[in-house]
Structure 1
Amino acid sequence: MRSLEDAAGAVEYPGRGLVVGRDEDGLPFVAYWLTGRSRASKRRRLVVGDWEIVVEDVSGGPRDELRHYTAAVRTADWVVVGNGTQVSDLAAARRSRTDLQLALREHAYEPDPPIRTPRIFASASTDGTGVVVGSARAVPGAVDLVQHPSLYLAQLPLATAVTVKTYGGSTSAVVADGLPEIVSCKDSWRSVAGLWDVLDPSIRVGLFVVPLNAPNFERAVLAF
């Protein structure tokens, strides 16, 4: 098992990524980062509300659902995190008690050929149980097909997390990823903000990490 930092920093351009884990003190947390190559992708910010965290445009231009979206939704009992419009849909599925691994099958990768960015997501109860991490990604060699790799854990062990990122290549040769990975995460949940230092400064846009035992997102730690 490699570390969370090694997993996030293993490639030049990881795109967007998320983490759901339990720190060495047993506190569950979620984290999300976004990076960008284009000027438009870099002109975004994270806006934290009590129940939502939104990726927002700062250029004053038109809204683009592939770049501007709700990245996290929570209630008192659970949280859903992801990189696009599927977050709201999967939150609705969670409210209706639909199996999220089945609900994920209603989604496809992003309509951005030739990259075909995976739609990634994670969900967990606020006590750190019932963890689901997955994606909707193109099938390598058969890009008109969609596969939905996902991982379910009834409860994460201490100092363990599941992470998934959209890309696995470089800024000049973007490679779709979307495969969940179990990693180690030592220290406290706040230390996960150190992922910011692992990401290439030329592509960093924003990062948040929040504990799940708080009543809302008010304790979010942000990096820009």
Structure 2
Amino acid sequence: MHTLGESVEYPGRGLAIGRDADGVPFFTYWLTGRSPASQARELVVHDQEVVVRDTSGGPVDDLRHYTAATRGPDWVIVGNGTQVSDVAALRPQQPDLQLALRQQTYEPDPPIRTPRITAAATITGLELTEVVVGSARAYDGAPDLTVHPSLYAAQVAPGTALTTTTYSGTAEHIVTNGHPEIAAVDPPWSDLTDVIWQSLQPSLRVAAITVRLDTPAFTEVVLQQR
């Protein structure tokens, strides 16, 4: 098991959902970017949503501007694209993220084929249950096909998170990821944004946010951005 916040030069976008050592439930989400357009973004926090918004005044691009997190009274969905809104809209008919993700494919950005990464959980006080982190990614052996690796936990223990990133290589040599894994969470939730921010290459940083989840809205937030 690795530790949340370990450095990767170019993780693309990443997410984690879990509980810190004190048992506080949280999610964290971070963005990096190579191009000026990818770096010209900010995270905007609303009561029930976190939105990735353009700061350049240019046209909206669904691959770069989207709802990154949304929640209901006892659930949360986090991800790196428009699938967050799609899965949330389908939740009354299909609450199982593992099944809902099968309707998704990777992003239409060949030749990279960026994975769509998503997390979901049920929130009951300090407990996180039915936690899933999954992706829609290109199959390594036949990239025109989509595979849907996912990781499910009926409950998450304190000091543990489920996590994934879109990439795992360098800015010059992009390696697609989207493989979920379990990570240890050493710091309290309120320190995670800084831990992740410090792990990112300064020239690639865009934003990082950690949100406490045992509240009825996205009100307890630690946000860092360019």
- Further displaced range: 147-156 or 90-99: 90-99
2:201 aligns with 200
* Aligned counterparts of 2:56 and 2:5: Cα–Cα separation in 1: 31
Q: Hey, which bits of structure 1, 4+ residues long, moved more than 4 A? A: none
Structure 2 unmatched ranges of 5 or more: none
2:188 aligns with 188
Number of corresponding residues: 221
Q: How does 1:1-224 map to 2 (within 5 A)?
A: 1-6=1-6, 9=7, 11-127=8-124, 128-193=128-193, 194-224=195-225
* Aligned counterparts of 2:62 and 2:72: Cα–Cα separation in 1: 23
Structure 1 unmatched ranges of 5 or more: none
- Give 1:157 deviation, angstroms: 1.0
Do 2:94 and 2:100's aligned partners in 1 also have CA atoms closer than 8 Å? no
* Aligned counterparts of 1:190 and 1:93: Cα–Cα separation in 2: 31
Do 1:54 and 1:68's aligned partners in 2 also have CA atoms closer than 8 Å? yes
* Aligned counterparts of 2:168 and 2:197: Cα–Cα separation in 1: 17
Q: Deviations over 1:24-82 (max 9, x none)?
A: 11111001000000000000000000001000000000000000000000012110000
TM-score, with structure 1 as normaliser? 0.96
TM-score, with structure 2 as normaliser? 0.95
* Aligned counterparts of 1:97 and 1:115: Cα–Cα separation in 2: 29
User: Percent same amino acid among aligned pairs?
Assistant: 58
* Aligned counterparts of 1:208 and 1:218: Cα–Cα separation in 2: 12
Q: Which amino acid aligns with 1:68?
A: H
Q: Deviations over 1:100-137 (max 9, x none)?
A: 11110000000000000000000011231110100000
Output the aligned Cα RMSD: 0.9
